[in-house]
């Protein structure tokens, strides 16, 4: 793949470039597999980063994303609006149109969004909005504004993607459980994987999914959640071994409400940048049978994103 650039912007100090030579995965993805969490960044010279952003990424264009899709063996992508583009969805919509049906999108919108703007995004392939509660990424948005947006987009059959830290789930519980749409949680609600998988923090997340059948989870981002890190897969330990029990528990209890994505180009990573091929090789450790793999990678994302 071509090297990352930074357009007209200077990337945040310490930010690692995405990996340009991903390995070919040993795990063969089933036909029709979807990378259900990835981003496009800019390029900044064409699609400037938002003034309110908390970081400046390196560019990660639609062409580079589609090359990765083909290299890894995915059929389609779900492209998620990242905070560095704020509520300016032009780069996302541009990528969706260029994908010619092989990508769907999750946008960020503000209260003032018009029906015509929602319809135009729907026509391009947007099927959800993202509400971000991770404090290092966004400024606070009042809950009544988010609830109003959720009620509006529900009419298009869209869902709400939520991104939060596990410690914040108790405080956000009432708001999340009042949302009128399907809800998709990013990265299992970011559990602290140094705590026991059977402990109260993760139990609350499991209760959230158990009691609310409209809640789905992405079992993605082991590289972001792991404390043990990227040990070799053929060594003593698997890569991101400490994340496996958490993701496996969610896949096995809720096989028809889980999604998986690479998270390319991996915003905000400063310690190590994952090889996307090795991330794909992580999948059979959390979805251990062909049936679970099919639900996670093919059936669930196609049902949620390509049903209209």
Catalytic residue among 17, 75, 263, 281: 263
Report yes or no: 74 and 124 within 8 Å, Cβ to Cβ: no
Stretch that binds ligand 0GY, among 4-12, 25-33, 82-90, 154-162 (CB under 6 A): 82-90
Stretch that binds ligand 0GY, among 18-26, 58-66, 77-85, 200-208 (CB under 6 A): 77-85
123 is a catalytic site residue: no
3-state secondary structure at position 125: coil
Q: Which is nearer to ligand 0GY, 203 or 276 (CB)?
A: 276
* DSSP, residue by residue, 215-272: EEEE---HHHH-SS----TTSSS-TTGGGHHHHHHHHHH-TTSEE----TT-TT--S-
Which H or E element spans position 303? Answer: helix 300-305
Report yes or no: 293 and 283 within 8 Å, Cβ to Cβ: yes
137 binds ligand 0GY (CB under 6 A): yes
267 binds ligand 0GY (CB under 6 A): yes
Question: Which of residues 56, 64, 83, 89 is near ligand 0GY by CB under 6 A?
Answer: 83
Task: Measure the CA–CA gap between 238 and 229, rounded to whole angstroms.
Answer: 9
268 binds ligand 0GY (CB under 6 A): yes
Please state, as a whole number, how many other Cβ atoms lie within 10 Å of the Cβ of residue 42.
23
Question: Which of residues 59, 263, 276, 281 is near ligand 0GY by CB under 6 A?
Answer: 263
Task: Measure the CA–CA gap between 94 and 83, rounded to whole angstroms.
Answer: 17
Report yes or no: 295 and 255 within 8 Å, Cβ to Cβ: yes
226 binds ligand 0GY (CB under 6 A): no
Tokens of residue 171, six digits: 């405080």
- Least distance CB 31 / ligand 0GY (angstroms): 26
- Least distance CB 215 / ligand 0GY (angstroms): 18
Q: Which is nearer to ligand 0GY, 137 or 273 (CB)?
A: 137
Task: Measure the CA–CA gap between 166 and 292, rounded to whole angstroms.
Answer: 25
Contacts (CB under 6 A) with ligand 0GY, residues 19-58: none
Q: Which is nearer to ligand 0GY, 238 or 262 (CB)?
A: 262
Question: Which of residues 82, 107, 150, 185 is near ligand 0GY by CB under 6 A?
Answer: 82
- Least distance CB 137 / ligand 0GY (angstroms): 5
3-state secondary structure at position 280: helix
- Least distance CB 58 / ligand 0GY (angstroms): 13
Which H or E element spans position 65? Answer: helix 62-72
- Least distance CB 289 / ligand 0GY (angstroms): 27
186 binds ligand 0GY (CB under 6 A): yes
Report yes or no: 259 and 301 within 8 Å, Cβ to Cβ: yes
Tokens of residue 49, six digits: 């980063």
Contacts (CB under 6 A) with ligand 0GY, residues 147-176: 163
Task: Measure the CA–CA gap between 22 and 274, rounded to whole angstroms.
Answer: 9
Question: What positions carry a catalytic annotation?
Answer: 263
Residues that bind ligand 0GY (CB under 6 A): 82-84, 137, 163, 186, 224, 263, 267-268
């Amino acid at each position: 793949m071509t090297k990352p650039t930074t357009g007209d912007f200077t990337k945040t100090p310490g930010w690692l470039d995405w990996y340009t030579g991903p390995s070919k995965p040993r795990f063969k993805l089933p036909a029709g597999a979807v990378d259900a969490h990835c981003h496009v960044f800019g390029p900044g010279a064409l699609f400037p980063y938002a003034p309110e952003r908390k970081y400046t990424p390196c560019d990660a264009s639609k062409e580079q994303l589609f090359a990765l899709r083909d290299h890894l063996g995915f059929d389609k992508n779900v492209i998620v609006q990242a905070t560095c583009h704020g509520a300016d969805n032009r780069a996302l919509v541009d990528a969706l149109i260029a994908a010619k049906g092989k990508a769907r999108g999750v946008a960020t919108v503000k209260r003032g969004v018009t029906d015509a703007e929602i319809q135009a995004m729907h026509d391009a392939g947007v099927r959800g909005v993202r509400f971000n509660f991770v404090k290092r990424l966004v400024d606070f948005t009042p809950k009544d504004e988010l609830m109003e947006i959720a009620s509006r987009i529900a009419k298009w059959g869209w869902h709400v993607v939520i991104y939060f830290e596990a410690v914040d789930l108790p405080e956000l519980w009432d708001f999340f459980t009042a949302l009128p749409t399907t809800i998709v949680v990013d990265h299992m609600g970011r559990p602290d994987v140094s705590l026991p998988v059977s402990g109260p923090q993760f139990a609350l997340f499991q209760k959230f999914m158990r009691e609310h059948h409209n809640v789905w989870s992405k079992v993605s981002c082991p590289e972001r959640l792991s404390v043990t890190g990227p040990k070799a897969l053929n060594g003593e330990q698997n890569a991101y071994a400490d994340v496996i029990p958490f993701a496996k528990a969610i896949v096995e209890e809720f096989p028809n409400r889980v999604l998986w994505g690479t998270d390319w180009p991996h915003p905000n990573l400063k310690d190590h940048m994952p090889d996307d091929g090795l991330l794909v090789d992580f999948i059979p450790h959390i979805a251990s049978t062909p049936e679970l793999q099919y639900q996670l990678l093919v059936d669930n994302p196609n049902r949620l994103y390509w049903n209209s």
